[in-house]
Amino acid sequence: MKDSVIIVSGGMDSITLLYDKKDEIALGISFNYGSNHNLKEIPYAKMHCERLGIKHITINLDFIHQYFKSSLLEGSDAIPEGHYAAENMKSTVVPFRNGIMLSIAVGVAESHNLKNVLIANHAGDHTIYPDCRPEFIKAIDKAASTGTYVEARVIAPYTNITKGEIAKIGKKLGIDYAETWSCYKGGEKHCGKCGTCVERKEALAEAGIVDTTEYED
């Protein structure tokens, strides 16, 4: 029985989760909050959902770009380069982004009489993003279950594994990661230098996947 909604960005992690749990997913939701890379990611999310016969919607969150402070919202030149876990990557935090998206997804789930909301945060996010950490997922899961008649649950199965381990799952599922987007700069090609590009390269290498991503460098 399909009883789940998934937050699907079009990146490696959420596309892996989409295929991993495809038999449970009734609806894929992408959020356009005006980041540099949204317009590159979301078409991949839509394409993969359509390929799997899963309904896909995009919800605009224009207020985030208008009122929130983050280098992700300021253009490609504002995006720091270097390793994903480096201190300068904190500038890419969009405050409470997952909290906002999960809250909306829980409301959509209840509106469709669906019980679960899937999200693909992982252990590599913990250093930089507070709303990816296990304690946050536990708290918002509790809020979702107590705040809805369907007793909705937030399911985050990759919370305690690395992006490399996620890529290994994707390898078994036969996912072509060239059909995903990671780069925070959102140019014509992956820049190859920002934190998410570096993390992408490391994850694919760890999983033993030939990296066919087109990089600027």
Which residues contribute to the annotated binding site for ATP? 8-18
Binding residues for Zn(2+) are 183, 191, 194, 197
**Residue 53 β-bridge partners:** none
**Which of 47, 57, 21 has the alpha carbon at shortest distance from 170?**
21
d(CA 32, CA 124): 23
Binding residues are 8-18, 183, 191, 194, 197
Structure tokens at 153: 């649950």
Q: What is the dihedral of CA 181, 184, 189, 193, to 10 degrees?
A: -120
d(CA 183, CA 80): 11
Q: Is 202 exposed, middle or buried (0-12, 13-18, 19+ CB in 10 A)?
A: middle
* CB-based contacts of 198, cutoff 8 Å, min separation 6: 82, 83, 84
